[in-house]
Amino acid sequence: MSQPVLTSGSATRPGTGRFPLVRTRPLLEENPWDVYRRIATPHRPSVLLESGKPPSGQARWSFVAADPYMVFSGGPGRYTFETEHGTTHHRGDPLVALFGVLGPCLVPRSDSLPPFVGGAVGYASYDTVRHYETLPSMARRDLPLPDLEFLFFDLVIVIDHHTRLLHMIFTPAPERLLAESHEALYREGTARMDELDSRWDAPVPTSPRESPIKASSMEGTHSEREYVERVQQCQTYIGAGDIYQANLAQRFSVAFNPAEGRSLHAVGQNLYHRLRMVNPSPFAGLFVTGNLALVSSSPERLVQVIGNRVTARPIAGTRPRGRSAMEDHALMDNLRLDAKERAEHLMLVDLARNDLGRVCEYGSVRVEEFMTIEQYSHVAHLVSEVTGTLKPACSTPDLIRSVFPGGTITGAPKIRCMEIIEELEPVRRGPYTGSLGYISWTGDVDFNILIRTMVLTGQRAYLQVGAGIVADSDPRREYQETLYKAQALFEALQ
DSSP-derived secondary structure for 328-366: HHHHHHHHHH-HHHHHHHHHHHHHHHHHHHTTB-TT--E
Calculate the alpha carbon distances from 290 to 71, 91, 120, 250 in Å: 11, 23, 17, 26
Answer yes or no: is pLDDT of 29 > 80: no
C-alpha span between 409 and 465 (Å, rounded): 10
User: Which residues 6+ apart lie within 8 Å of 223 measured at CB?
Assistant: none
User: Which residues 6+ apart lie within 8 Å of 162 measured at CB?
Assistant: 55, 60
Q: How far is CA 183 from the centre of its chain?
A: 36
User: Which residues 6+ apart lie within 8 Å of 259 measured at CB?
Assistant: none
Residue 186 in contact with residue 18, Cβ under 8 Å? Answer: yes
Rounded mean pLDDT, 164-172: 95
User: Which residues 6+ apart lie within 8 Å of 86 measured at CB?
Assistant: none
What residue spans of 64-181 are helical by DSSP H?
94-102, 174-179
Calculate the alpha carbon distances from 247 to 135, 406, 414, 416, 467 in Å: 16, 11, 10, 12, 5
Q: Could you read off the pLDDT of 57-88 as tens digits, one per residue?
A: 667 899 999 999 999 999 989 999 999 999 99
Residue 304 in contact with residue 288, Cβ under 8 Å? Answer: no
> Is the CATH number of domain 5-200+214-493 3.60.120.10?
yes
Calculate the alpha carbon distances from 236 to 223, 351, 412, 421, 468 in Å: 20, 22, 15, 14, 15
Answer yes or no: is pLDDT of 11 > 70: no
Rounded mean pLDDT, 481-489: 87
Q: How confident is the model at residue 52 (pLDDT cuts 50, 70, 90)?
A: confident
H helix or E strand, kind and range, residue 59? none
Answer yes or no: is pLDDT of 459 > 90: no
C-alpha span between 430 and 251 (Å, rounded): 11
Answer yes or no: is pLDDT of 8 > 50: no
What is the amino acid identity at position 116? F
What pLDDT is stored for residue 318 in this prediction?
84
Report which DSSP code applies to 178: H
Q: Could you read off the pLDDT of 338-347 as tens digits, one per residue?
A: 888 898 899 9
User: Which residues 6+ apart lie within 8 Å of 171 measured at CB?
Assistant: 19, 20, 21, 107, 117, 118, 119, 154, 441
What pLDDT is stored for residue 2 in this prediction?
36
Q: Could you read off the pLDDT of 260-298 as tens digits, one per residue?
A: 556 788 889 999 999 999 888 999 999 999 899 999 999
Burial 414-437 (b: 16+ CB within 10 A, else e): bebbbbbbbebbebbbbbbbbbbb
Q: Which SS3 state, helix, strand or coil, does residue 240 take?
A: coil
Closest by Cα among 252, 293, 486, 301 to 406: 301
Rounded mean pLDDT, 165-181: 91
C-alpha span between 462 and 428 (Å, rounded): 12
Residue with the larger pLDDT of the pair 58 and 314: 314
Answer yes or no: is pLDDT of 436 > 90: yes
Q: Which SS3 state, helix, strand or coil, does residue 481 take?
A: helix
C-alpha span between 278 and 491 (Å, rounded): 7
C-alpha span between 76 and 62 (Å, rounded): 31
**Packing angle of the helix pair 414-424, 224-239 (nearest 10 deg):** 150
Residue with the larger pLDDT of the pair 461 and 15: 461
**Sign of dihedral through CA atoms 268, 272, 274, 279?**
positive
C-alpha span between 86 and 81 (Å, rounded): 8
Domain boundaries, the chain: 5-200+214-493
Beta strands, E only, 161-214: 165-170
What pLDDT is stored for residue 58 in this prediction?
65
What is the rounded average pLDDT for all residues in the chain?
89
Residue with the larger pLDDT of the pair 388 and 7: 388
Residue with the larger pLDDT of the pair 379 and 368: 368
What pLDDT is stored for residue 208 in this prediction?
59
Residue 362, judged by CB atoms within 10 A of its CB (0-12, 13-18, 19+), counts as exposed
Rounded mean pLDDT, 138-144: 94
Residue 92 in contact with residue 77, Cβ under 8 Å? Answer: yes
Answer yes or no: is pLDDT of 392 > 70: yes
What pLDDT is stored for residue 491 in this prediction?
85
Question: Rg for the chain (alpha carbons), in Å?
Answer: 22
Q: How confident is the model at residue 419 (pLDDT cuts 50, 70, 90)?
A: very high
Q: Could you read off the pLDDT of 180-239 as tens digits, one per residue?
A: 999 999 999 999 999 999 888 777 777 655 555 665 577 888 899 999 999 999 999 999
